[in-house]
Homo-oligomer: A and B are copies of this chain.
Amino acid sequence: MKQPLAVGIDIGGTNTTFGIVDRRGNLLCDGHISTRDHQEVSFFIQALHEQLAPLIHKVSLEGGEVKGIGVGVPNGNYFKGTIEFAPNLPWRGVVPLASLIQEAFTLPTVLTNDANAAAIGEMTYGAARGMKDFIMITLGTGLGSGIVVNGQLVYGHDGFAGELGHVIVFPEGRLCGCGRKGCLETYVSATGIVRTMHELLQSRHVHSLLRDVKPEEITSKTIRDAALQGDALAIEAFEFTGKILGQQLANFVAFSSPEAIILFGGLTKAGDLIFRPTIHAMEENLLQIYKNKIKVLPSELKENDAAILGASALVWEIKS
């Protein structure tokens, strides 16, 4: 019998990575193309086919059988297989991406947003194995989320559930890329902590290692490095970020009462710097019945592979 395999494709604003994965989550081979250089979606599909089709051919010669293609993409709609009004992708309006890929490869193709794909990946191969109720929070440029209830991803009525990055935490707060003010992701994300750091550097007249860094070169990584060297202002930036995240996690718990919340993405590399204030603020704000019950865990997926693994895991859910 041939070994069942799945293709995972992760489409980001800059690059698209893809790979072929077995049932256990082993990445057999992978590759990447530019997203941004393909302003026309048809050219993108063509470039993807040129790079990916030979990999599919190769694994089938080696005894594998690719069962389908899973795609994780910002603003992806699971029900319709479309990308809709994605601000960070080159393609405007509504793009029927799943059917375009399905036609190009003649393989069943399923698509969801990137954070939902990460949640499925975590449930299939990572820290949420065996869990039926958890929330996945991805902390990248923005804040994405995938919510699992009763063992199923919550898609909602229209396929757009789980936009927790756009919960409004301060009605007159920071301007968000979505056009509104005070969204969670303007505070809690790689870009959010950079904004916080700039505010702290301006408002506090104390020493900081980051005063020696050009403002435009301050990133979540330079803030982390400074914090790890004991920089008080950088540590405060993490504490502020974790406090806001923890307060909101307490609200999310009141919604779906999950077994765990799993944090994923660049910001989580800061470890205790971000986990400690997050858990502290969450516990402080939890309703009594939830206290000391909710695990806050780091993802167990390797960051570089996670998006591909998550997208590929969608394939195992296709009902044949």
Contacts and interface: CB of A to CB of B under 8 A. Distances in A.
Contacts of A293: 157-158
Q: Could you say how many copies of this chain the assembly holds? A: 2
A150 B160 contact: no
Interface stretch (A55-63, A201-209, A225-233, A255-263): A255-263
Contacts of A190: none
A178 interface: yes
Contact of A287 (B152, B166, B258): B166
Interface string A100-127: 0000000000000000000000000000
A160 B289 contact: yes
A70 interface: no
Q: A interface, by DSSP: helix, strand, loop or mixed?
A: loop
Contact of A164 (B133, B160, B167, B254): B254
A277 to B, nearest CB: 15
A252 interface: yes
Interface residues of A, number: 43
Contacts of A179: 288
B255 A252 contact: yes
Given A149-B154, A158-B293, A287-B178, A166 B252 contact: no
A163 B287 contact: yes
Contacts of A171: 247
B178 A157 contact: no
A308 interface: no
Contacts of A156: 133, 149, 256-258
Contact of A255 (B158, B162, B259, B288): B162
B288 A178 contact: yes
A161 B256 contact: yes
A168 B256 contact: no
A147 interface: yes
A168 B250 contact: yes
A184 B131 CA distance: 29
A157 B251 contact: no
A287 B165 CA distance: 10
12 contacts: A85-B289, A149-B161, A156-B256, A158-B289, A159-B257, A161-B256, A164-B254, A166-B254, A168-B251, A171-B247, A180-B285, A252-B255
Given A161-B257, A162-B255, 17 more contacts: A84-B289, A132-B157, A147-B256, A156-B258, A157-B258, A158-B289, A158-B293, A161-B255, A161-B256, A163-B257, A164-B255, A166-B254, A167-B254, A168-B247, A168-B251, A179-B288, A180-B285
Q: Which 5 A-B pairs have the closest CB atoms?
A: A156-B257, A161-B257, A157-B259, A133-B157, A163-B254
